[in-house]
Amino acid sequence: MRETFYERLGESVYREKLPNGLMICVVPKPGYAKSYAFFATRYGGMDVRFRLGGKWLDTPAGIAHYLEHKMFDTKEGNALQELAKNGAEPNAFTSNAMTAYYFDSTEHFEENLKILLSFVSVPYFTEESVAKEQGIIAQEIRMVEDNPDWQIYTRMMQALYRTSTGRISIAGTVDSIKEITAQTLYDCHKAFYTPSNMILTVVGDVDPVHVVDIARGILPREGGPVIERDYGVEPPEVAARATERQMEVATPMFLTGYKCAPAADGDDYLRLAVVGDLACDVLLGDSSPLYLRLYDKGLINGSFGGAFEMMPGMAYLYAGGDSRDANAVAEEIQKEVDRLAREGVDEAFFRRLHRASFGESLRGLNSFENIAISLSEGYFHGYDAFRFPQVFETVTAEETADFLRKNITADHGVLSRILPKD
């Protein structure tokens, strides 16, 4: 295995790519009782259209999430129960671009790792079990769709993007999941749950070579083809400037979103993530001039906040909370961006935010889960997540202001509101 020591972080990462294409990353944590395994595939809610065997397949929205639910089924029973019997705490999640299965345990780690690798790589479900799951997931979807936070975010994404599959709900709809069959699940597993499209990350007091030996002995020898995906050709313009809906809420809610220029995979992806997060802090953070001004005017309350997000071919910044005058908030945001573009970001203020953001990234290394997710996302997008210190030390206030000037404009913005019912 190849060891990389990150002096700035005081961490080592052992990496090896198996002949079948699986990337294995091991972060040793000597002396820790708990060990953590994270097995992820580059397949998520966005991957509804892809080419397999020379043919383009259009799959139902929500199928990646549906497949995640069904993957715990085995011929012997249920892998979740089997892992729990061994003292492990297992779980899984599906995001827009990744599905991951993971557990942590203080004992029987090797046995639990074998179970994890086995049930994720060998699917087992029947038409009857797939049909039974539809009712369960449909109930989950209905509950989520009644949530104002979900509605306001989903409607914002559909206003920002015209064709990108990132505008699709990860869980799909009640109607879309009715189209899912055992065969479509097997097709998607065959396409995306191949070693060459996956990564295994282990964090804990483990022997890296032994982890590789376990994976080599269980997983298929063949890696699988490279899958061509179609995320949609997205124009720079937003799909709609505003959207609103009435729901059972006590106070009007809003999200204002801005369609940003995406970055290609590689080091540019990591850099944009750092710059975008810092720009969000500069503009919207609770110590920013804009936040204090909005709060003093009574336009926002403690619910106000923002974030910068990235997906394949997508990047967007958004802010929101409770407000009785969302239009005034959006106008103030634009005025502040214009001021920052004109006057620049105060250097002392930027330095404070820079130190705080870097410190937060360092503290993330205390979480085994955060380490595994960061390394996996970095691998899928072609960058080394542990090189974030080198990026931080070169990001400037001018670069952050330039990001805001180019991306946070009226033409790139949308306003999503949830209003109390009359």
Q: CA distances (Å), 378 to each of 18, 97, 268, in order?
A: 18, 12, 11
Contacts of 270 (CB under 8 A, 6+ apart): 378, 381, 383, 384, 385, 387, 388, 391
181 — phi, psi (to 5°)? -125, 170
Type of residue numbered 245: R
Q: Which of 68, 82, 234, 336 is catalytic?
A: 68
Decide: 380 and 374 in contact? Cβ < 8 Å. Answer: no
For residue 114 the two structure tokens come to 């074998």
Q: CA distances (Å), 213 to each of 27, 194, 201, in order?
A: 16, 18, 14
Task: Compute the C-alpha angle 92/95/96, nearest 5°.
Answer: 155
Q: Give the residue among 192, 164, 10, 172 at the shortest CA–CA distance from 100.
A: 192
Residue 402 and residue 317: Cα distance in Å, rounded?
14
For residue 264 the two structure tokens come to 């290609």
185 — phi, psi (to 5°)? -65, -45
For residue 29 the two structure tokens come to 């944590």
The string of DSSP letters for 201-267 reads EEEES--HHHHHHHHHHHS-S---PPPEE------SS-S-SEEEEEES-SS-EEEEEEEPPP--SSH
| 68 included as an active-site residue | yes
Kindly list the strands in the beta sheet with 49-52, ordered across the sheet, starting from the edge strand earlier in the chain. 55-58, 49-52, 228-229
Catalytic center residues: 68
